[in-house]
Structure 1
Amino acid sequence: MTRNHPTRRTVVVSSAAAAAALLTPAAAAHAVPGRAPKAADDLQPYASYWFPDSLPSGTPGEGVVWRSLAEWTPEGDADLAFNRSTVPLAERFTPVPVSASARADRARIASLVSFHPTAGNPAQGAATADHYALTHWAYIDELVFWGGSSAEGIVLAPNAPVVDAAHRHGVPVLGNVFLPPTAYDGQLQWTRDLVQRDASGRFPVAEKMVQVATAYGFDGWFVNAETGGGDAELGRQMLAFLKELKRLGEPHGLRITWYDSMTANGSVDWQDELNASNQDFFLASDTMFVNFNWNTAKLAASGKLAEDLDRDRYELWAGVDVESNGWNTSVDWDAVLPEGADPVVSYGFYRPEWTRNHLPDGRTPEQFHAADDRFWTGESLDPARPGGSWRAPASAVADRSTVTALPFACTFNTGHGLRWYEGGTVRSEAAWNQLGLQDRLPGRRWVVRTEGARPKVTLDFADAWRGGSSVLVDGTLDAPTTVELHATRLPLSAATTVRLAHRVVSGGPVTVELGVALREPDRPGDPLTYDFLPAGKLTEGGWSEADVRLGSLGGSGTVHGLAVRLTASGPVKWRLGALAVRDADEQVAAPSGLNVDKATGDGQFRLSWQPAPGAVRHYELYRVLPGGERRFLTGTCARAAYVKGLKAAPGEKAVSFELRAVGELFTTSAPVTVTHPW
């Protein structure tokens, strides 16, 4: 097949095998070099991966464990408590688009992301801020936890932090089934293992896949069958397997996305469209990812055929490969997103973590987020006025939000950081990542409205109120400047109060006002109208908190948007560390039964506990040092935690742990404690 859009993939996969395979990181025909072997006393829990049934011949590489999904049971899964997502999939709404070019309820976006190599992916984050901390969930409808390789495993379950963050923003997450091309040591036996029937005609691996998804708390499977050599019978078996996987998963709300690879005759032949050769697989699935060589005619025909089959044309994802070139990728945007018209189909990004990976070693979180904002928002970095040759998602797809109920709070925590802060105080000097701790961040980053110079608005990691980051507004304010924050549908009452934690780093004084929008605009691209309420006049100094009561706005109705307006004269650096909306105080009950389940002599600990009654956002684990200092160790939405690298303080006979539950307003419970002898 001739490739219309050459990519790294088509260069490394030569000859007949080059027909457009979706490859794993570095195509992963070997174990990742440099990974230390998993020692017998290594308590680190990892994200799970399997082969469908039979294992490769030979010996796994360093740090790799070969497992059979057919033999998996939840009872035998020692890491299940660490890998289970506990955040339910939130409902979300679509506000009136902030850009006139964005379309609501039309094209959607799928994102295929490799957060880490298949093996050795920590279940609950790690001690580094260098991580693909995806935050632009507002434009994504489906996330695929991409990965898999013939040397590690080809069925991947997403790790809990990714699922927790995605669910908080209303985005379903799919595990990945990657049956590799034979050029990358794919074995047709693994395809046969996947679709095998037992003596009663059932599909045991399909049953295991549903069991894994429900036990781990994710939302379905992306099925990518690229191992060549099959025949019509294998094609029929694959179709029957998909139908059974869908039937078994539907009562649990699970979904399936099929990749345009295998055709009805069992061969691997990428069609780059929906047609008679692959339509039965599409009909057996919820969506289909169309291979990358589509064109205007193929997408138009695909959309029409989907509708002729009584399906939604936006259930087709037109693949856009950005792994190698990111926003420099050549894309025929008019084929999928014609100017001034509805999109033809939806589209899917393959490997948008380019925004991190293309940066040099030593990259900082600020550098990553600057690149990621440009990818999703465009060169203007303002979704209200997108532009440029790169058709950024904000220019075409309406943002979505899950901010619909009280209490609601955001500390602008991205899920990674250089330190951990509480109330503006550093509680740990260690770098970290844990996406499950990520806040519901503003989806429209950043809409800035001013008659003067536009300041720079970023998520910044040099200081924070809570977590690892805050919003920094940096620039010369020569006119009142409004920075829009969350799109909301929050109930308004006479008791509703908004609390801000903010500070002036330099410049000022700065007059700060809270903007509250009580209705949405009539048309896409029209601005929200805000009522502004005073939130203080700040000079240079530390963090301060301000409570703004909304009773003067009428005492009833719906809050459709929140913003801040800053007025100053000259250069200013102002930080926003927290925004909390409530109509009553929050009470958070404590967890119970904190226990050290396992420990090693080199400072590793596995702990578990019983959940706190009532609503809990997440849990935070601390070490209490001799003298009473509390040091943050980790946080998780799960009911178990792993920490490592702890050492006894001078004279310390036992290590002391403290666990607290954290509510939606970041109110913390009373602690529960446990000690363990060194």
Structure 2
Amino acid sequence: MTSKTARKSFASKITALALTSAMFSLTFTSFAHAGDTLPYTGESAKGTNQPYQHGYASSHILDWTPQSDPYSDLLRARVPLQQRNQAFAPTQANPKLNPNTQNFTLSGDYGNSFFDSYSYTNEFSEYLFNYWQYTDFYGYWHGMPTAGVPREMYDPNKDWTEKWFEFGILNIPNPAYTNAAHKNGVRSIACIFFSDNDRGPQTYKQMLVQDENGDFPVAKKLVEMAHYYGYDGYFINQEEASKGVAPADIPLYKQFLKYLKDQGMYVQWYDSTVNDTGAIDYQNEFNAVNSPFVKDSQYGQISDSIFLNYWWDKEKLKKSSEHAKNLGLDPLQTVFAGIEGGNGDFGRWKQKYDLRLNLDDQGQPMNSIATLGADFTHNALDEELGGEDRNLRANDDYQWMTFVRDRAWWSGPNLDPSHAERNADADLADVKASGANWDGMAAYIAERSVINGSSFSTSFNTGHGMQYYVKGAVSNPKEWSNINIQDIPVTWQWWLETKGSKLNVDFDYGPQYTAGPRYTYQSIGAYNGGNSLVVNGKLDADNFLHLYKTDLAVKSGSKLSLTYNKPSADDSSAVSVGLIFKDQPNQIVYVPVPDTGKQTSGWATRELDLGAYQGRELASIGLKFANGGHSISNYQVNIGQLRITDGTTSAPSAPTGFHVTKALTGTNEMYVAWNLADYKQVKQYNLYENGVYVGGIYDSAYYIKKLTQRKGELSLTAVGADGTESAPAKVSYNLDAGVSNISVETKKNGHAFVTWVQPKDAAGDIKLTLKTEYTDQPFTKSWTVKGKSQSAQLTGLPLNGDTYSLDISIGDGQPVTYRGKLADYEIEPYAKENVSVNGNTYTLALPTMKDWHYIYVYEDGVPKEFGVTYVQRKFPYIVRGRTKLSDLTFTANSSTSSLKLVIEDYTGNQATTILR
């Protein structure tokens, strides 16, 4: 990994870079398939006990319970889905756009990480999505190993084909992303993916199992999981090319989908549609072959929509829209034209897909739009710029490129959603000939908003930072990513209106941030969070910056406060807040902010009375930067916070039930919990350690990766809709008050020998309680030893390798927690009834147990060989996750030979099953 402190020469990485306010152009080396998000190192490396996500095989879904799923209590999304405002065309960047056109974004969350999918961590370079306003559904596309796969099996330096572990067919959404999506009115969608190569021997048949009543237990579990983890539905990609779907199973598949939809799940089907023979048959349009997987003649509506495969044209899209209408379906609700982000020479932004082909004669989209891999703007930095350095996406110095590329993808090549088209006046032939056929998504999708009611607060926080600021001062000097606390994004990035030079607009992450060659502003940082909004450049005419699309009720007590920092010298400039009301949407009402032409010595706050506008509905908010009749060079002002309050809101009550659940003294980690208040009263909780900001979330639990001090005080505040913090709830801690240097040695006989170091002033007997975690075989046992003891023998422990927590307390003191794994000396034999026999041919069902790695099949003592995915190799055993589905069926060499099956787990334990 590249050093954080090293300042690279951008010229050595970029062939050409030209960024102007008129046109966006980036020239890189040609695009290649983006690789993995590599594990972070140093301080950003995974915490010893940091909660992380995993994938799910079908058998794991069938057995799923909240109690047995690793870290389930710390991976729930709790923000309810917010209602979006009704469309209001006059304040759209493009008022002619049909607001009913939808977008389904299928992409990574923080990146394409396997063992490192966290809700929040101390790394700035995580990919943070910042364009919820153009998205209706966000699905999660990246592989994650199933639970229990040892992390040591992953070598990030090896090729994709050398990943010898099992990926789940189900990836559930990252809960932090679900919280951010819901905050913006976006539905969060899990992904189910069947593929010959990527998911090895896993197949749809394992998902479509039925019980004695004909019901689908896996489907029931999928609904239960969605409710527990807080997401909204499933994107289903049935792409097993070699065998397809058995024709007899097609009705079952449709019933399975219908069950999910009928239970309130949003279901989108991918156009890898099976035809009547069950073969994979990409249609690239919505027609009679794939429409039965949306609306079936027998079962009715069985899914909500379809993601069309990519090779459509104008005629196919026109026929798709017409076919939907003939079925009584709205094509803007049902049909999504698919685009694969980064596919093609996208380093030069020559996209293969031209969404103008989806426009009707009136210039409106005929179908909605779906994209796969919009996060290529981040992860493809490695391939396009990497050269000898293949992990630029993790280098803080290059994050500005992600931000610019993101803005080009969403706001268009001019980085202006009001002019999202690259060649607005060119005809289609010219656009195709030039290759410049990518317009921003804003050219087709009207922006949405959830800003309503009578209160609103933003610090323009994008959800990560090089430092964390509180009221303009650095509270925590460490870098961080936490999309849980991302503010509602600025609606238009960037929509500036002027008759003169356009100012530059950016997010200012502070002096440690590399802003790139486009920007020359003085880095100030944030007022609250990780960044502020900075506006700078030559101010030779008034500039109006559109910020937020809203539906806010103005009351008699309504006030607007603006916190700003102006480092540039005193001048004739002035800042005004621009208000656009629904009853006069073509008029901007300017409310001057006093003294904004003067240089400040830091952050200043000005409050404006909006009572004169009571009874009116505020449809949009922006800022005007006026030059006062003089041309001003090197103008700069940072906007740190914008708040609207109706005068009736008050700070929430202090949180209740705040306590430490685990104090992991050996690693300085800690888990804390509290009682969760209703989202109507509390939008977020902020956690502090000895006054230093730790993190925030809307949840009832939080993981602290590393306490900076061994003793002190934790405080927790609740944040209301207008950004006001409550009084803190407090809890003291002292990691040195209990035992330390805990060591546990587990033994094959079910015993464990525990040692520790006593504090000098310890008094009272010592109680030890061991409890297994996240298991379907719960176990709890306690032991008490005399005071001053520094060791204990624990007996009668399971030998199944389960994770456990060991709490050790002295007298009535606070327990200290040690987490580890029990000794693993057990493995269940493979069940003989899971073998299907047809003459001399045997078919093995995949084991349903969670802890297995290899299966050996011996015929007369000689191991049989099995092929694997991706590479032309055979192994003398079945490899979990990589052996081909077809190779689970084999024919014995002789009808009279002996057959023996040996199953082996990750630890090396083996069990034998005699087949004959």
Q: TM-score range by the shorter chain?
A: 0.7 to 0.9
2:266 alignment counterpart: 255
AA aligned to 2:459 is T
2:661 alignment counterpart: 597
Cα 1:32–1:177 shift into 2, 3 Å:
farther
CA contact (8 A) 2:583 2:617 kept: no
Query: In structure 1, how many angstroms separate the alpha carbons of the residues matched to 2:568 and 2:496?
Result: 20
Query: In structure 2, how many angstroms separate the alpha carbons of the residues matched to 1:664 and 1:676?
Result: 31
Structure 2 residue aligned with 1:85, among 77, 85, 106? 77
Secondary structure, aligned partner of 2:58: coil
AA aligned to 1:152 is F
Query: In structure 2, how many angstroms separate the alpha carbons of the residues matched to 1:406 and 1:634?
Result: 27
Within the alignment, does 1:207 sit opposite 2:257 as a pair?
Answer: no
Secondary structure, aligned partner of 2:591: strand
AA aligned to 1:244 is Y
Structure 1 residue aligned with 2:402, among 368, 371, 377? 368
2:764 alignment counterpart: none
Structure 2 residue aligned with 1:656, among 691, 713, 729? 713
Query: In structure 2, how many angstroms separate the alpha carbons of the residues matched to 1:277 and 1:35?
Result: 49
Query: In structure 1, how many angstroms separate the alpha carbons of the residues matched to 2:47 and 2:506?
Result: 42
1:495 alignment counterpart: 557
AA aligned to 1:419 is Q
- Measured after TM superposition, the shift of residue 111 of structure 1 is 0.7
Query: In structure 2, how many angstroms separate the alpha carbons of the residues matched to 1:668 and 1:448?
Result: 33
Deviations 1:272-297 (A, max 9, x none): 11222221112211011001111222
- Measured after TM superposition, the shift of residue 570 of structure 1 is 2.9
- Measured after TM superposition, the shift of residue 80 of structure 1 is 2.5
Structure 1 residue aligned with 2:99, among 105, 108, 116? 105
- Measured after TM superposition, the shift of residue 159 of structure 1 is 1.5
Query: In structure 2, how many angstroms separate the alpha carbons of the residues matched to 1:397 and 1:40?
Result: 38
Within the alignment, does 1:547 sit opposite 2:607 as a pair?
Answer: yes
Query: In structure 2, how many angstroms separate the alpha carbons of the residues matched to 1:532 and 1:461?
Result: 29
- Measured after TM superposition, the shift of residue 40 of structure 1 is 13
- Measured after TM superposition, the shift of residue 41 of structure 1 is 9.7
2:530 alignment counterpart: 468
Structure 2 residue aligned with 1:277, among 289, 292, 316? 289
Query: In structure 1, how many angstroms separate the alpha carbons of the residues matched to 2:580 and 2:41?
Result: 52
2:249 alignment counterpart: 234
Which segment drifts farther, 381-390 or 581-590? Answer: 381-390
CA contact (8 A) 1:369 1:459 kept: no
1:352 alignment counterpart: 374
Given the two structures, how large is their TM-score scaled by the length of structure 1? 0.86
Cα 1:40–1:200 shift into 2, 3 Å:
farther
CA contact (8 A) 1:336 1:347 kept: no
Query: In structure 2, how many angstroms separate the alpha carbons of the residues matched to 1:520 and 1:369?
Result: 36
CA contact (8 A) 2:54 2:115 kept: no
Query: In structure 2, how many angstroms separate the alpha carbons of the residues matched to 1:133 and 1:647?
Result: 26
Within the alignment, does 1:437 sit opposite 2:485 as a pair?
Answer: yes
Deviations 1:529-568 (A, max 9, x none): 2111121223223110010111233x22111111111123
Within the alignment, does 1:297 sit opposite 2:315 as a pair?
Answer: yes
Within the alignment, does 1:320 sit opposite 2:350 as a pair?
Answer: no
1:142 alignment counterpart: 137
Q: CA RMSD in A?
A: 2.5
AA aligned to 2:661 is D
AA aligned to 1:375 is W
Report runs of 4+ in structure 1 exceeding 6 Å deviation: 25-28, 31-36
AA aligned to 2:465 is G
1:556 alignment counterpart: 615
AA aligned to 2:668 is G
Query: In structure 1, how many angstroms separate the alpha carbons of the residues matched to 2:491 and 2:285?
Result: 32
Which segment drifts farther, 426-435 or 350-359? Answer: 350-359
Deviations 1:50-74 (A, max 9, x none): 1111xxxxxxxxxxxxxx1111112
2:61 alignment counterpart: 69
Structure 1 residue aligned with 2:683, among 617, 625, 650? 617
Q: Spell out the pairing of 1:33-44 with structure 2 (5 A cutoff).
A: 42-44=48-50
Structure 2 residue aligned with 1:49, among 22, 41, 55? 55
Within the alignment, does 1:133 sit opposite 2:134 as a pair?
Answer: no
Deviations 1:447-470 (A, max 9, x none): 211221111112221211111111
1:95 alignment counterpart: 88
Deviations 1:23-68 (A, max 9, x none): xx8698xx978999xx999421112421111xxxxxxxxxxxxxx1
Query: In structure 2, how many angstroms separate the alpha carbons of the residues matched to 1:256 and 1:366?
Result: 35
AA aligned to 1:536 is P
AA aligned to 2:587 is T
AA aligned to 1:574 is V
Structure 2 residue aligned with 1:427, among 469, 475, 484? 475
CA contact (8 A) 1:488 1:561 kept: yes
Query: In structure 1, how many angstroms separate the alpha carbons of the residues matched to 2:50 and 2:249?
Result: 39
AA aligned to 1:674 is V
Deviations 1:397-454 (A, max 9, x none): 2111111112111110011111111111111111111111011122122221122111
AA aligned to 1:291 is N
Query: In structure 2, how many angstroms separate the alpha carbons of the residues matched to 1:508 and 1:112?
Result: 48
1:3 alignment counterpart: none
Structure 2: gaps (5+ residues): 1-32, 145-164, 296-301, 386-391, 423-435, 511-524, 736-916
Secondary structure, aligned partner of 1:593: coil
2:694 alignment counterpart: 633
Secondary structure, aligned partner of 1:380: coil
> Equivalent pairs: percent with the same residue?
27
Query: In structure 1, how many angstroms separate the alpha carbons of the residues matched to 2:39 and 2:117?
Result: 17
- Measured after TM superposition, the shift of residue 494 of structure 1 is 2.0
Within the alignment, does 1:309 sit opposite 2:327 as a pair?
Answer: yes
Structure 2 residue aligned with 1:459, among 507, 512, 524? 507
Structure 1: gaps (5+ residues): 1-24, 54-67, 523-527, 625-629
Structure 2 residue aligned with 1:268, among 254, 273, 280? 280
2:119 alignment counterpart: 124
Cα 1:371–1:508 shift into 2, 3 Å:
farther
AA aligned to 2:609 is R
1:574 alignment counterpart: 637
